[in-house]
Structure 1
């Protein structure tokens, strides 16, 4: 929940590697993403579009991403993350955009500046879901037309809760979750963190690229990404679960997400720059936080400029600390404090009303212009049950991506939705370190059970569940 457990994929590259060919009259690729929890695959695919144009004979290809989630809180978070990712450079610089995205994505506590940004953007997100014509101007790539009215109403409730954010004391909730999960081991929790890291996570492919200190920091506080020059102190309201309206109040179930595996897998394990993966005395010189920052910087740069990202070496040399052992600072926590609404917070109650009025004004600028023609379509929550019976989706998708936690809900009824020679990618449970070994060993059999001999599916790459992030299948019809 809240983040994925497999590295971000360039889905266009997956399609090209499988030798799936478009018909001469086709100029669109339809991709269904089920239960990804975040927007990593969409952003990675958009960022690498410039590399693949020539592979389609320089024909302009439209990309249609259909997003299916089971919780509206995940939809709300993705809308905010897309908003951040597509902000124009005059609004958010590259470095600030990257760190802002990382904090919202994986930190229970964020900088005051980040809290202020979230607070301001909730007003714009409410405008987006209540006025689709405004959404079409402000974030034209996002399509919410298929959501039900009650789902859009619930999204508005979620964003209003993010604004108020008075009852979500994430540090207390996190500590309570730790006590419940560890039980009598709570007093020796540091030993539990070390055991999980050295005996489980570190042995997974590239798992040692996650620094043991940053992993322990996250396990203890929920703060995944830190920098020496910044301090986090404000609650991240986007990690609230089960938000609902009860009379004139908005209630919630607190934080029900992951407290074991961590948000490092999506962007923090692999990197195109070899210097980010160097070791010193057998220890990786860079943290997963540093790798994530580099990958997201490249991703946002390539989305904005449609060219390859080249990191400035002089900047790298001046900021490279190497393998430095430092004590992580204690986290300053403010309980029940609302984020400030501006850098010059007004002192008078009458002025606060004016500030809120100004925040509620619709922003007039647009998101950055993207190279490919893109549509990101959010499906209703019950789509995973209903979509296989929809006639208009039969023989429609070129690729279906399925998360490991929803694999049991996938059935052969989905196969007719995939085009001939289309792809099905099923996420592996490789980085679910708290999974029972017997259950993990049975996962390949569970995947095979989904596809019987009559379904026409076969692996186009051999699946090694102890090494591979995905089971990759193709649909072949006679």
Structure 2
């Protein structure tokens, strides 16, 4: 039996990605409906919110002004999926709490890439860059240039919230973070923009984690990879994860290789500092401290609404988790583009074809609602000054590349706000959060932070969605079942009841019980 330390070693101590597929957290529950005048429908008045859905879908979801709280989600998969499920008349405010500023910084990076306008970066290129940054420990030089450029823009954005108390983008809000947390964000972005000369060797850091996790099994590690894939992931319904791709990720940390090129530059967004006790002293070691077993394919690559991608031949899936991830992320980005006033068009002879209507249009013009993020000399100087105030970031020659200016979309009625790391227990004491959240999500690693005060911030009929340990491969079936039972007890103590009896055991979903 594997020790608790080895279990933690496999999952890691930093949640760079979640251990379950993307979900629309507003439409996560299947609730029982009652017939009225021959039509199955349910209408509930909740602070000017209305629920309308026919029984054919089996799902009831909120409409109107919607608030969602995400605790420890680790990545923006649920945010993107929930935005894609919005109606035109809906407005959405997502509130995010993470357990480290490195994860907050990475969330901002991935959201910034997601919001990049199609005329700044093509949909296909954006999808590839997003997945490369999302799931690869090492990236191509072109992708590194993009990360550096976005890091500079994010640094400027966070600096503005401190100096001028203004937000650089209406969809992304960091103003509610503490000043010291924003200072830490600035330091992280500065380090991404100008990595220290003695940066961590990602290949060695990854291999050290694998050695520690497997122990005496390291020399036969290929067999261990194959066992985890065929006897665990495939048995859990992840047959689309192909053997070669999974083995390469387990060996090198490369999940998405969609283009020819050298993947050999450390992905700075996956590096963090872990503190160890060494001879009585606390020593910080920078390296890769995330998941090395379950894989980043879980977020976007194991489910799809396009059944063509799930076809099999000779009991083998034709399409891989990488291909499904590309299709799913591109579909989510197309939803963002439509809401941001940038409907995706295929070009024919200089004109576009609107995919929704099939009508030819004139060549695409920039939307007036988007933001021009071209940096002025003054803004560039602000970034350099911010970089200079941190001793860890050494002065380096200016990067030789010319990164294109990234124009961001403004998603009408959508906002993502980041809250302080310790804010969960304080929300009930603030009147603005009283009965505010229509849906609440909590990761498996953060569930122990939930307490009875959560009921005070949940709106009537609110959904509570908790990530389970189905894809934590080092857990036994007994440990997995015990965790699921414990989640049920916690939800019951909070005043929530099970919302469904579902075969989907990636998440447990509950609804707030009426008083």
Instruction: Please give the range of the TM-score, normalised by the shorter of the 2 chains.
Output: 0.7 to 0.9
The equivalent position to 2:190 in structure 1, one of 160, 168, 183, is: 160
Label 1:112 to 1:292 Cα distance change in 2 as closer, same or farther (>3 A).
same
Label 1:257 to 1:20 Cα distance change in 2 as closer, same or farther (>3 A).
farther
Which residue is equivalent to 1:397?
A: 437
Matched, 1:426 2:463: no
Q: CA deviation at 1:38?
A: 0.3
Which residue is equivalent to 1:2?
A: 16
Which structure carries more strand by proportion? 2
Question: Distance between the aligned counterparts of 2:45 and 2:311, measured in 1?
Answer: 40
Which residue is equivalent to 1:283?
A: 316
Question: Distance between the aligned counterparts of 2:406 and 2:251, measured in 1?
Answer: 40
Q: CA deviation at 1:227?
A: 2.8
Q: CA deviation at 1:24?
A: 6.7
Which residue is equivalent to 1:322?
A: none
Alignment root-mean-square deviation, CA = 2.9
Q: Following superposition of structure 1 onto structure 2, how do residues 213-362 of structure 1 map, counting pairs within 5 Å?
A: 213-227=244-258, 229-242=260-273, 252-306=285-339
Label 1:9 to 1:22 Cα distance change in 2 as closer, same or farther (>3 A).
farther
Q: CA deviation at 1:277?
A: 0.8
Which residue is equivalent to 1:66?
A: 95
TM-score after normalising by structure 2: 0.75
Q: CA deviation at 1:310?
A: 9.9
Question: Distance between the aligned counterparts of 1:469 and 1:20, measured in 2?
Answer: 29
Contact persistence 1:32–1:400 (CA under 8 A): yes
Q: CA deviation at 1:13?
A: 2.8
Question: Distance between the aligned counterparts of 1:137 and 1:413, measured in 2?
Answer: 31
- Cα deviation code 1:79-135 (max 9, x no counterpart): 111111111112110111000000100001111100111112221111011113889
The equivalent position to 1:208 in structure 2, one of 233, 239, 246, is: 239
Contact persistence 2:465–2:508 (CA under 8 A): yes
Matched, 1:192 2:224: yes
- Cα deviation code 1:449-476 (max 9, x no counterpart): 21346x4321120255xx4221111112
Which structure carries more helix by proportion? 1
Question: Distance between the aligned counterparts of 1:459 and 1:356, measured in 2?
Answer: 56
Which residue is equivalent to 1:107?
A: 136
Question: Distance between the aligned counterparts of 2:329 and 2:150, measured in 1?
Answer: 21
Q: CA deviation at 1:197?
A: 1.1
| Matched residue SS, 2:67 | strand
Which residue is equivalent to 1:81?
A: 110
Which is worse superposed, 302-311 or 252-261?
A: 302-311
Q: Give the unaligned 5+ runs of structure 2.
A: 1-14, 33-41, 50-63, 276-283, 347-395
Q: CA deviation at 1:21?
A: 3.8
TM-score after normalising by structure 1: 0.81
The equivalent position to 1:13 in structure 2, one of 27, 35, 55, is: 27
Which is worse superposed, 302-311 or 290-299?
A: 302-311
Contact persistence 1:138–1:364 (CA under 8 A): no
Aligned length: 418
Contact persistence 1:267–1:296 (CA under 8 A): yes
Question: Distance between the aligned counterparts of 2:448 and 2:176, measured in 1?
Answer: 25
Question: Distance between the aligned counterparts of 1:198 and 1:71, measured in 2?
Answer: 33
Which is worse superposed, 258-267 or 8-17?
A: 8-17
Contact persistence 2:439–2:464 (CA under 8 A): yes
Question: Distance between the aligned counterparts of 2:43 and 2:17, measured in 1?
Answer: 29
Q: CA deviation at 1:48?
A: 2.7
Q: CA deviation at 1:22?
A: 4.8
Contact persistence 1:3–1:38 (CA under 8 A): yes
Label 1:190 to 1:62 Cα distance change in 2 as closer, same or farther (>3 A).
same
Q: Give the unaligned 5+ runs of structure 1.
A: 54-59, 245-250, 313-351
Segments ≥4 residues shifted beyond 4 Å:
15-20, 133-138, 306-312, 352-359, 363-366
